[in-house]
Structure 1
């Protein structure tokens, strides 16, 4: 919940249309749905109850938001001052925090207060933007992140890269099937690595690549490069393809793939895990496949090819995470 910072980067109109289309296409869950995402046991009852506060909020959507905001960290803080499991800014908490557990105090660090407060605040901003065209859940999430005024001003998800990534990542995770609760196995990881290695030397194509292999991409990258005339992969297209060969269906973008993966501690990392780059879950811009020894396979940028790169090739390494296994048509 970063509307209070007032610092969100803008993106071009073409990118906005593409992202908006992806988000609008995401399935809308209905209130009363059961919690199927894997969450820490101590939060399950809280999320299931708070996740039915209003029609736009579901347990899965609330769980995905908490995962995106803090990774379920009760004591999480952000560089701009957001606090607790739901990452309330102090000014927002002052206005919208509630004493949900009735212990006589509103405590942003207490999940028994913060989780119901997040659900209620989602409902508040949903009401603020109820007359805005488009998907109501997506507009609600955009308002939670960027403020209701921005959603009203732009008639939907505003053209801010952070907010666009935020919405689509939460929607993708919230839509994860309940059968997809197991992390990728070592065998699946090895299959993904072999598939990616066979693509070494394939051209980079912005927006290129799918479960079937290289494809022509789209226009345009942040620096104006188009993949419309290049058959190949971008970073997340490569990882999507490689894991499809292992029977795992990944979302399309790097940020969505992070949301659909399990973050790992340093001692847990193994070949096949995904390496993510960015400043936060909502700003992840690159992904590669770890192969061991500090190296990965990735599709780095326009003008380059799929190749081996050291993990420190970029300065903003954010996380290494393991894909969550969901069945695809590939075997």
Structure 2
């Protein structure tokens, strides 16, 4: 199988490329990535010389380029990770989120239909369901995005479903809870707390730290995606999540204990505008249909993640200059 992976130099995309090349010898990957601030060619440096791997720098909105790639490499499937993904940045300027998360997806869909692609997988997010009290959203739950970022992802999901129903494009959509693990850009909660801890800097937490997320180790998500690629039922949406619900205070305290940091480093900063309190998804469908279950427990995953950042300062230190926005520390 020949797969176009878009956004493969990002956090989850690079982990998936590494995972699938190890999993299947017959897989060939073309990685299309624009290398924006969060896309890092060093994320895939260890597979750069694999004859089954090709990197192309470019924009998913570039119609000529995408067409050229699909024809030249005889691509069978597209997995779209490419996205602007940070909520804070979407609040300050939604332009790039519209361009990539909606316009770019539409471009991929149009070309996929014309080229007769056998599988199109859209990587979405649990944020499209909006902030929930104590319920868990299943795949039929009404979309209720709160942030410009979540709205752009929900819009893309709707277009993906429309292209399936109207043109018969074989698709799947995956809506995952918060991923964490190696190679995550240091503007998100886990890596900013860990890298600040390594530097003995304050650990920034939004508001009162009560915001709840469900934490999924990235390799578990890669395995879920691999299952959907090979066995996913055409036209289905799959939620992907364990049941590791923790609020941001708990995450900060876990990291302090594991890294033997003083909890006095925890610092509360002004909250994000419209900050969703809790996301929660029901992942029973992917478990019952495809047999997927997470394998990495939260404590083990957190330890792996901390050790990786401790052992890879040369990777994350050069990125710190791009991990702030208007002199504000980003997180979550």
TM-score greater than 0.5 by the shorter chain: no
Q: Which structure is higher in helix share?
A: 2
| TM-score computed with the length of structure 2 as normaliser | 0.30
Name the structure with the higher strand share: 2
Identify which of structures 1 and 2 has the higher relative contact order when contacts are C-alpha pairs closer than 8 Å and 6+ apart: 2
